[in-house]
Structure 1
Amino acid sequence: MAPTRLRRLVAAAAITALSLSACSTGPADGGSDAASGAGASADAGAFPVTIDHAFGETTLTEQPERVATVSWVNADVSLALGVVPVGMPTDTYGGNENGSTPWKDARLEELGAAIGTENAPAQYSETDGIAFDDIAATNPDVILAAYSGLSREDYDTLSKIAPVVAYPEVAYGTAWQDSTRMIGDALGLSDDAEQLVTETEQAIAEAAAEYPQLEGTTFIYGNLEPASADGVSIYTANDNRPRFLSELGMVQADVVTENTKDSTEFFIPWSAERADELDSDVFVTWVPDGATRDAISVDPLLKQIPAVESGALVADSDNTLTLSVSAANPLSLPWALDRFLPLLGEAADKA
């Protein structure tokens, strides 16, 4: 299948990077070696490079060898490009016993830097915000934040540690393709990044072709909370979740498009009193457990949502699956395809 072919492509790139590179990553004390900070195919002639972002521009004068990341997505993209960060956040939501994810663990193992080994990246908690001290301790050459919610103050503080690649326009609004290209530019791996985008998009298209019922099916991706007057929120086309469904050939419902005010708005609060106006073939939401899904179907207001009424509700309680789509990237999406598309296909059949 397409996701398998994509994983093989990524693995092949990793083997090449490992066999030809000799740059150091890992703890700031230099006590361990892993994959090159920028991979074997990095174009040294790409530097200096200037990257525009929401807080201005960042110029990297030479190929970075020590890469630290914040938020979601950035570490995943770096790893997909064959670059093991010296430091990355612990995955709390949707994470496993390693404070990581299945797709990230698999990639780290391919790169000889599995969690718990001497070559593993340092991990730091972002539960209370950006871990400035922990990031500084990794002595990075660059800090990747192409997908993040950095404030101006956060950016300024991080910039005192190392050059920062921030998001292009909207906090937590960077499409995975843009994150991949920005990080590729920062690491001197622009061509690799472009190939990764192309291969990932192809994998999505080929997987979607196995579910022809999704083509043209209208959807709403949101959150539903039973027994709450304010228990509905809807994600707009500016968010990676609806973007992913659109890439599968599905179509965002008119009610969402018509109520999206501008390109900075990634969700819309919606009164449960108006639930019956949320007209789409399929409604996708996260739920904490099966009991909540059942409660949605009998809630006096939420059961009026057409997709809930028809049984075309996708309400999964797997946090890891939700993370794979919410924080979409070239590592998580192939993992998500095999697990998420059957749920969507079943719902579309009921629409």
Structure 2
Amino acid sequence: MTSGPERASTSRRAFLVLAGLAPLALGACSAEKKDTVEVTPSDAGFPKNITHRFGTTVLKTRPSRIVALGAAEAETLVSLGLVPLSRPTADTTAWYRAGLRILGPAETPQTYDDGRQLTASLFTELEPEAFLSVGNRLSREEYESLSALAPVILAPDSVAAEDWEPVTGFIADVTGLQDAAKPLVEEAREDISESVEDYPDLKGATALFVSASSASGSDLVLAVQDSAPAAFFASLGLSAAPGLSGLAKGLKPASSRFPQGMVYLPRSRAAELSADVLVVNVPSGDFNNYRANKALSRDFPDFGAGTVYVISGDEAVALQRQSMRGAQWAARNIVPELAKSVYKSRQA
């Protein structure tokens, strides 16, 4: 099984204009684009030592046959032009599928159940050259098992897993794709910056991200300051919601199946949430009911002050899992909705 082509830096036009990637019009943004650029991976800097919470990983040579130990890792590899051998079965996004179509790999990456404990035996037949993990989802036992098969590239704690830019930089460095990453990172920064130009009211407005369900008795899951939603809101010029740190104090961290920076908030405290925009992520069934009835069902708690902006699917993933292309997708598709919600709050 091959890892797919090692080219990178697909053009902005090619990556974003694919059907289904961005539901909003892209005309003006995609008119002035460059052709696809071929980038040769660099072997400079290898061997490379990566020090992390479990010790040090030595990469003797640049790896290309990589198992992604997270969906954000897989999305970032694809955005840089490198198809992973395997990735978690967790939701695939419009921007990830678009990237694969552009790269045209001979084989679609395999998937594995990341809800179970990871062991080397799951990946032996793939003959990986490395495993890639960003964040703290990997246990020491899993790390040691996988390391017996191939080096585990584990990002140091200094690489903020909730921020797409350091994640992209780290993955580019360990795969020798720094030259591919540079123009893509600049392009993403530009897209995010341009997304707020028509919405000056966003600057200084406040936003909160919370996951909720109609299931009776289920807790809410609140994104705190060290979360991907908070990092994305900050990149738009939004401010932290007043009282967020106090609200989150003493709350239990959400389980590892949730992204980092999430805590459980008792359902009975939903009314304490307060911001210009309350971004409420709901399951697909609840979202379909919301769209049909133009309101959340009575099974949801009463949320606090602020305009409620209900999301699901790719919108929720783009905020909770900050890969580079996900951030660009959010800039195009979520920013206008945030601006509408801020306007409504200030008119109330």
Task: Check whether TM > 0.5.
Answer: yes
Q: Which residue in the other structure is 1:110 paired with? A: 102
Establish whether residue 319 from structure 1 lines up as the match of residue 307 from structure 2. Answer: no
Contact kept in structure 1, 2:206 and 2:276, CA below 8 Å:
yes
Which runs of 5 or more structure 2 residues have no equivalent in the other structure?
1-9, 18-32, 254-259
Q: Which residue in the other structure is 1:242 paired with? A: 230
Cα deviation, residue 333, structure 1: 2.2
Distance 1:348 1:81, change over 3 A: same
Establish whether residue 216 from structure 1 lines up as the match of residue 179 from structure 2. Answer: no
Distance 1:250 1:50, change over 3 A: same
* Aligned mates of 2:94, 2:119 — CA distance in 1: 23
Contact kept in structure 1, 2:135 and 2:157, CA below 8 Å:
no
Cα deviation, residue 150, structure 1: 0.4
Contact kept in structure 2, 1:143 and 1:162, CA below 8 Å:
yes
Counterpart of 2:102, as a letter, is E
Aligned Cα RMSD in Å? 3.3
Contact kept in structure 1, 2:276 and 2:342, CA below 8 Å:
yes
Q: Which residue in the other structure is 1:168 paired with? A: 156
* Aligned mates of 2:208, 2:132 — CA distance in 1: 31
Match of 1:340 among 310, 314, 334: 334
Contact kept in structure 2, 1:235 and 1:266, CA below 8 Å:
yes
* Match runs of 1:271-310 below 5 Å: 271-288=266-283, 289-290=286-287, 291=289, 302-303=301-302, 305-307=304-306
Counterpart of 1:328, as a letter, is Q
Q: Deviation per CA, 1:147-180, whole angstroms, max 9, x where unpaired? A: 4610111111111111111243399944222221
**Seq. identity, %:** 27
Distance 1:171 1:188, change over 3 A: closer
Contact kept in structure 1, 2:211 and 2:281, CA below 8 Å:
yes
Distance 1:208 1:267, change over 3 A: same
Contact kept in structure 2, 1:234 and 1:256, CA below 8 Å:
no
Contact kept in structure 1, 2:78 and 2:100, CA below 8 Å:
yes
Contact kept in structure 2, 1:53 and 1:167, CA below 8 Å:
yes
Q: Which residue in the other structure is 1:59 paired with? A: 58
* Aligned mates of 1:295, 1:110 — CA distance in 2: 38
Establish whether residue 79 from structure 1 lines up as the match of residue 78 from structure 2. Answer: yes
Contact kept in structure 1, 2:11 and 2:36, CA below 8 Å:
no
- Secondary structure, in 3 states, of the residue corresponding to 2:209? strand
Counterpart of 1:249, as a letter, is G
More helix per residue: 1 or 2?
1
Cα deviation, residue 5, structure 1: 7.2
Aligned length: 308
Which runs of 5 or more structure 1 residues have no equivalent in the other structure?
18-39, 94-99
Q: TM-score under structure 2 normalisation?
A: 0.77
